[in-house]
Structure 1
Amino acid sequence: MIINKKLNSGIRMVLEEIPYVQSVAIGIWVKTGAVDEDEKYAGISHFIEHMMFKGTTNRSAKKIAEDIDRIGGQINAFTGKEATCYYVKAIDSNYKEAADVLIDMLTQSLLDKEEMTKERQVICEEIKMTQDAPDDLAHDTITAMIFKGNDLGKSIIGTPTSLKRITRSVMSNYFAKEYTRDNIVISVSGNFDVDEICEYFDDKFMELLPSKEEKNPAFAPYAPSYKSITKEIEQSHICLATKGIPLGDDRYYAFSILNNIMGGSMSSRFFQNIREEKGLAYSVYSMNGAFSGDGYYNIYAGVSHDKIKDAICGIREELALLDEKGISAEELDSSRAQLKAAYVFGQENVAGRMFKNGKNTILTGKISTPEEVVKGFDDVTMDDIENMKRLICDFSSYSAVVVSKKHIELKRIMKGAL
């Protein structure tokens, strides 16, 4: 059973007891990310996430790691477009020791200038690593293109130039404004006592400001665009994307089933056509990238440099076939079974449940029970899929990016495939 609690501090907790396990996963979710940043200081949310591990008034960076290792725990963090999460997993009897490290990081961080200088360079190396990974570069670029002019189009990691502008004062001010008690959700899954853990966390973040100032998000209408990126690589990487659906949308289950049919598994249409029948790609798939207020549908393929046009035309063929003939009852049933099984498998992972509960609570304010999720997939009909296919079948609505060893006339290829 999932329990929602609001502490006296104003912080929300989402708790899922799993009494048959011997571990606890704790995630402290902060509703801040790239969407909240001034373009001038792009990457500051991610920079802060790194700095939380660089020392507090009570612990050095090494001591943070040692205190978690001493209890056999695991600690990490990540920054997204809309939220940042700090998490730890430990044996249930050690949850307080593990949680204490997270609390110390978020309330007593030094934000030391010398450590900032070193970590700034570390992140610059991370930027280079992304630039050197052409598939990551393609995905990052297509996301920026789909949401151009919108806050979701902002970079999570920033640029070397924007990172240089982030001083300790800038970082401290941003932290104070974003890391507020009403902007935090603590997600806990595993073996624990609800009353005990709520009492433990009740007064732990009183150092933070009570509330975050609301702001108006940037918005710009979507229009398809095309980009060719040249790099010295051995394989070309293609992303085609169009607008999708947001988190919490009632059409989520139908869209998930349709995405899975098109590019979510080895039996999917894109995989069977592009890889198995045409032999054009080793990796080909599709995905639904969903955010709290928007989303996008992305198709990826990694192909030989001389097969870019063939792969794009193959993708177009499958979208046209979907538009003309729809899907079969067998495909619907198979995809439904796959997704239900994947959900059940995920429920067996304590950390996975913590992530799901925390993300859904902080971004949508709603968590579906396992029974509701299974019913959601079971209730999808052929008519639902027919309605969903209209979102992705119009090839003229797709933006495209290709990373290849030479410039590609991508717009011409995309228009020619129509």
Structure 2
Amino acid sequence: HLLFKGSSTRSAQDIAQGIDAVGGDLNAFTSKEYTAFHARVPAWELDFGLNTLLDVLVDPGFTETELDAERQVILEELAWSADTPDDVVHGVLAESLFPGHPLGWEVLGTADTVQAIDAAQVRTFHDRWYRRSNMVIAVVGPVDHDEIVARVDTALAVVGEGERPVRAAPPPEIVPQVVTPRSIEQMHLAQGWRTGGLHSPDRYALAVATQVLGGGWSSRLFQEVREKRGLSYSVFASVGSFADSGTMSVYAATAPERLTELRTVIDAQLHDLATNGPGQRELDVARGGFEGATVLGLEDTGSRMARLATNVLFRDRVVGVDEYLDAVREVTAADVQRVLAEVLDGALAVSIVGPG
């Protein structure tokens, strides 16, 4: 947030007007493991876009006045999230799966931590971690690679190499169940398991298993929970992949008196898939879904940019599209059955948010 509030040579208004004047956008987001800053501009405005992005990265202002204003924005965002039950249920699930570990922390922080931070602390954090050794720059468009590298090297000449962060392994323990009372109409349920991370050899099989289970309209959970029984409007399964760990989770919301039925149906679908595996048609649909979504994503420059950057950040190389698709195509029904059975054999964490 604060990096867009101005640098030593540009005010926040200069940055905003400059981006608006070329019809572009400038934004950022933070995940559990990294922060990304990205700009999108017309190809003929590459100089402006690259210079602006590098300027706010290298030379931010970090004034107390801007921090105080942004603090209020984040506090409002925290309040909004606290009023959103599906945000709460997933946040508590993460804390339960990774108790006391950064992977379990809320990305936004807490009201107390946001209130306590000052500009000097933000500046110290930036000076320590926003260094060449921790940065990956990805550019997509009609550009010359060598020219971009030379220009980025020049812009980052004043930035030292810095240290690489040391990761702490997640603790083996989890919290089995947390119920969070809220005065709302529905019971929100999220249950999850720890899995392997981005480098696990089973990551593709787990992704396909999750797709079969709850990844789309034809998935088992959508058909059984919503279409056949009308138990929930929203139900899905998902995978969270980190550098050295991961999660598989299932989410749904239902009326309080139907929560037990919902949990029974979800458990039955999980264990049936782990015991009997997917049918051939289910497997084909799941693998084909990944292939189609990947190819369609290549039409978007933002998706290409994110793919390149995260590949280099976590794997030190770009995994080719063909390599990725081949790995997905090689997943068998036996792989899905085995991987899901192994996940379900691990400890289960359950988060429930609702009345009572």
TM-score normalised to the size of structure 2?
A: 0.96
Q: Which of 209, 229, 251 in structure 1 is aligned with 2:180?
A: 229
Asked if structure 2 preserves the Cα contact closer than 8 Å seen for 1:260 and 1:335, the reply is yes
Matches within 5 A, 1:2-401: 50-394=1-345, 397-401=347-351
Deviation at 1:252, TM superposition (A): 2.0
How many residue pairs are counted as aligned between the two chains? 356
Q: Secondary structure at the match of 1:359?
A: helix
Q: 5+ residue gaps in structure 1?
A: 1-49, 407-418
Deviation at 1:354, TM superposition (A): 0.5
Deviation string 1:169-207 (CA, Å, 9 cap, x unpaired) is: 211111111111100000111221112222221211223
Deviation at 1:214, TM superposition (A): 4.4
Q: Secondary structure at the match of 1:169?
A: helix
CA distance in 2, matches of 1:237, 1:218: 30
CA distance in 2, matches of 1:68, 1:248: 38
CA distance 1:88–1:366, change in 2 (3 Å): same
- Alignment match, 1:402: 352
CA distance in 2, matches of 1:195, 1:95: 15
Deviation at 1:401, TM superposition (A): 0.7
Deviation string 1:102-138 (CA, Å, 9 cap, x unpaired) is: 1111122110111111111111111001001111111
CA distance in 2, matches of 1:223, 1:166: 29
CA distance in 2, matches of 1:188, 1:114: 33
CA distance 1:141–1:405, change in 2 (3 Å): same
Q: Secondary structure at the match of 1:296?
A: strand
Task: Indicate the percent of aligned positions where both proteins have the same amino acid.
Answer: 29
Larger mean Cα displacement after TM superposition, 221-230 or 352-361: 221-230
Asked if structure 2 preserves the Cα contact closer than 8 Å seen for 1:243 and 1:391, the reply is no
Matched residue type, 2:52: V
Deviation at 1:399, TM superposition (A): 0.7
Deviation string 1:286-312 (CA, Å, 9 cap, x unpaired) is: 000001110000100021122111111
CA distance in 1, matches of 2:221, 2:334: 22
Q: Secondary structure at the match of 1:188?
A: coil
CA distance in 1, matches of 2:353, 2:228: 24
CA distance in 2, matches of 1:162, 1:199: 39
CA distance in 1, matches of 2:285, 2:175: 33
Deviation at 1:315, TM superposition (A): 0.6
Matched residue type, 1:65: A
Higher share in strand: 1
Asked if structure 2 preserves the Cα contact closer than 8 Å seen for 1:178 and 1:212, the reply is yes
Asked if structure 1 preserves the Cα contact closer than 8 Å seen for 2:273 and 2:337, the reply is no
Q: Secondary structure at the match of 2:217?
A: coil
Deviation at 1:216, TM superposition (A): 5.0
- Alignment match, 1:29: none
Q: 5+ residue gaps in structure 2?
A: none
Asked if structure 2 preserves the Cα contact closer than 8 Å seen for 1:236 and 1:402, the reply is yes
CA distance in 2, matches of 1:263, 1:224: 24
CA distance in 1, matches of 2:228, 2:330: 33
Q: Secondary structure at the match of 1:202?
A: helix
TM-score normalised to the size of structure 1?
A: 0.82
CA distance 1:87–1:94, change in 2 (3 Å): same
Asked if structure 2 preserves the Cα contact closer than 8 Å seen for 1:244 and 1:391, the reply is no
Matched residue type, 1:97: F
Asked if structure 1 preserves the Cα contact closer than 8 Å seen for 2:225 and 2:232, the reply is yes
CA distance 1:329–1:213, change in 2 (3 Å): closer
Asked if structure 2 preserves the Cα contact closer than 8 Å seen for 1:319 and 1:392, the reply is no
Deviation at 1:213, TM superposition (A): 5.0
Deviation at 1:61, TM superposition (A): 1.1
Deviation at 1:326, TM superposition (A): 1.7
Deviation at 1:320, TM superposition (A): 1.9
Deviation at 1:66, TM superposition (A): 0.7
CA distance in 2, matches of 1:336, 1:323: 18
CA distance 1:370–1:168, change in 2 (3 Å): same
